Amino acid sequence: MRITQSKITGIALSAFFAAILFAMAAFGTRADSQQPPAVGMKAPDFSLTSQEGKQLGLKDFRGKWVVLYFYPKDFTSGCTIEAHNFQRDLPQYEEKNAVIVGVSVDTADSHKQFCAKEGLNFKLLSDSDHKVSSEYGSVMDYKGATYAARNTFLIDPKGVIVKEYIGVDPSKHSEEVLAALTELQKGMK
Task: Identify whether residues 60 and 6 lie together within a single domain.
Answer: no
Other C-beta atoms within 10 Å of 132: how many? Answer: 24
125, 167: one domain: yes
Per-residue pLDDT of the chain (189 residues; tens, 9 = 90+): 455 454 444 444 444 433 333 333 334 444 444 799 999 999 999 999 999 999 999 999 999 999 999 999 999 999 999 999 999 999 999 999 999 999 999 999 999 999 999 999 999 999 999 999 999 999 999 889 999 999 999 999 999 999 999 999 999 999 999 999 999 999 776
Residues 96 and 9 in one domain: no
Query: Catalytic site residue 115?
Result: no
Q: Can you tell me the distance from the alpha carbon of 36 to that of 78, in angstroms, rounded to the nearest whole number?
A: 22
Q: Which member of 31, 48, 66, 79 is catalytic? A: 79
Same domain, 177 and 121: yes
Overall size of the chain counted in residues? 189
Contact 114, 75 (CB under 8 A): yes
* One domain, residues 10 and 71: no
pTM above 0.85, yes or no: no
Considering the domain architecture, whether residues 20 and 41 belong to the same structural domain is answered as no
CA angle 82, 84, 86 (to 5 degrees): 70
Q: What is the predicted pLDDT for the residue at 15?
A: 41
User: HSE (CB half, 13 Å, CA atoms) of 100?
Assistant: 24
| Same-domain check for residues 151 and 163 | yes
What per-residue confidence (pLDDT) applies to 18? Answer: 34
Q: State which residues form the domain around 60.
A: 31-188
- Asked if 6 and 72 sit in the same domain, the reply is no
Domain co-membership, 18 together with 87: no
Supply the pLDDT for residue 34: 78
Q: Are 74 and 104 in contact (CB under 8 A)?
A: yes
Instruction: Tally the domains of the chain.
Output: 2
Whether residues 53 and 111 share a domain: the answer is: yes
Whether residue 156 is found in the same domain as residue 91: yes
How confident is the model at residue 60, as a pLDDT? Answer: 96
pLDDT at residue 188, as a whole number: 77
